[in-house]
Structure 1
Amino acid sequence: METIRAFIAVDVGAEIRAALDALQRKLKKTHANVRWVKPRNMHLTLAFLGHLAPEKIEPLGRALDGALRGQAPFELVAAGTGTFGKPSHPRVVWAGIHECPALLQLQTGVLAALRDAGVDYDDKPFSPHLTLGRVKGPEHTESLLQKVGNFKDCELGRTPVDAVELIQSLLTPHGAEYAVLHRAEM
């Protein structure tokens, strides 16, 4: 059976994207072996679905629409930087998201919609972040970590959140390409 690779995310908006692009340019000067995420592809993942059967798209869209009904829009603030993985061997470089109860409520509602629609998802604990890049090798890691530490407390922009998107991820030799399959608005 044919499936699509998909996830549910919040669009981070132009202001945050521009700030993250500028931040990446500074981090790239370390010459670390990192595959950087294209700014146009940056998003805040609420749930990674993995492989989704195409016939689940429409029922999932309806479930997401229902889950967002009554939820008030809110503002998302990107701030700070860090890494996932061991300090000596980071795997991911990320920008953080300020603590936001409305975001946690939104993510909880999205997971309930997934269960209602009978859609499986990766149930790792939610750690709100924006992936800047994936570390591919140890070259210049120390310099990268030092530079990432320089931005651990900086604000990187704000964006209103008034919708979530069901996104298809197509892996290509040039990186992931994304297509919005459904947009559920608050």
Structure 2
Amino acid sequence: MPRLFSAIEIPRSIAERFTMLRSGLSGARWIDPENYHLTLRFIGDVDGATARDFTNALGEIAMPPFELQLNGLDSFGGNKPRALFAGVKPSPGLDSLRRANDRAAREAGLPPEGRNFKPHVTLARLRGVRPDAVAAYLERQADVAVERFTVSRFVLYSSRNSVGGGPYVIEAAYELDDAYDADDTGHRAYDRDLAEAFGVKD
């Protein structure tokens, strides 16, 4: 089964800006810009029925678009750095969307998320990179600034790559709109296609 997670896409203009930072850190495995994303809820490998239930629950989410801004670079792993990422400025809209995704996961019968939510966009995987090299890189990039962008939809991604970093496939997309109709026939048809892809029949 594919590995599933819901996420916010990163606009191409911002992704291209981050590609300008893909140098000066030996040992970094840079993520392709088309695979940049902000994870909302990681689901993992689930059966087809659970995938369908989660997809349907995501389709019930109704909220307006909101503004988001990425905020500087940092790393995970401390003295054993494992990833380089762009942080995210606090956003009530993001918090609401993340909670809605959590509720959708619970409605699909999935266990609670075991990790604290730290919104970020992974830019590179690190292996065998010295902490002082990461610190020097982050110091050089301390002035990185990114413009705000509007989040008008979120998506359900799948990946069959066990290493991480893509490639990712958009299985479904969900528009943010107060007037969204959860009974929209086009959306229901998309769900049926997704269910069939996961081997589930109505």
Shorter chain as denominator, the TM-score bin is: 0.7 to 0.9
> Is 2:149 the counterpart of 1:159?
yes
Offset, 1:117: 1.7
Relative distance call for 1:153 and 1:124 in structure 2 (3 A) is farther
Give, in whole Å, the separation in 2 of the partners of 1:21 and 1:135. Answer: 16
What is aligned with 1:171? 161
What is aligned with 1:50? 44
What is aligned with 1:60? 54
Q: Find the partner of 2:170 among 152, 157, 180.
A: 180
What is aligned with 1:6? 4
Letter in 2 for 1:33: G
CA contact (8 A) 2:7 2:157 kept: yes
Equivalent residue runs for 1:84-103 within 5 Å:
84-86=76-78, 88-103=79-94
Offset, 1:122: 4.0
Q: Greater CA radius of gyration, 1 or 2?
A: 2
User: Identity rate of aligned residues, in percent?
Assistant: 28
Relative distance call for 1:163 and 1:121 in structure 2 (3 A) is farther
TM-score, scaled relative to structure 1: 0.85
Give, in whole Å, the separation in 2 of the partners of 1:39 and 1:97. Answer: 17
Greater relative contact order, per chain length (Cα 8 Å cut-off, separation 6+): 1
**1:50-87 residue CA offsets vs partner (Å, 9 max, x unmatched):** 112122333222211212x1x1101111120011111x
Give, in whole Å, the separation in 1 of the partners of 2:81 and 2:151. Answer: 30
Offset, 1:7: 0.8
Give, in whole Å, the separation in 2 of the partners of 1:85 and 1:103. Answer: 24
What is aligned with 1:80? 72
CA contact (8 A) 2:75 2:84 kept: yes
Q: Find the partner of 1:18 among 16, 19, 26.
A: 16
Query: How many residues get paired?
Result: 176
SS of 1:9's partner is strand
TM-score, scaled relative to structure 2: 0.79
Relative distance call for 1:175 and 1:79 in structure 2 (3 A) is closer
Give, in whole Å, the separation in 2 of the partners of 1:174 and 1:81. Answer: 20
Letter in 2 for 1:89: K
Offset, 1:177: 1.5
CA contact (8 A) 1:16 1:78 kept: no
Letter in 2 for 1:90: P
Relative distance call for 1:8 and 1:173 in structure 2 (3 A) is closer
Relative distance call for 1:10 and 1:95 in structure 2 (3 A) is same
Flag the structure with higher strand content.
Answer: 1
Give, in whole Å, the separation in 1 of the partners of 2:156 and 2:49. Answer: 14
Give, in whole Å, the separation in 1 of the partners of 2:103 and 2:140. Answer: 38
Q: Which runs of 5+ in 2 are unaligned?
A: 177-202
CA contact (8 A) 1:49 1:121 kept: no
Give, in whole Å, the separation in 2 of the partners of 1:121 and 1:176. Answer: 25
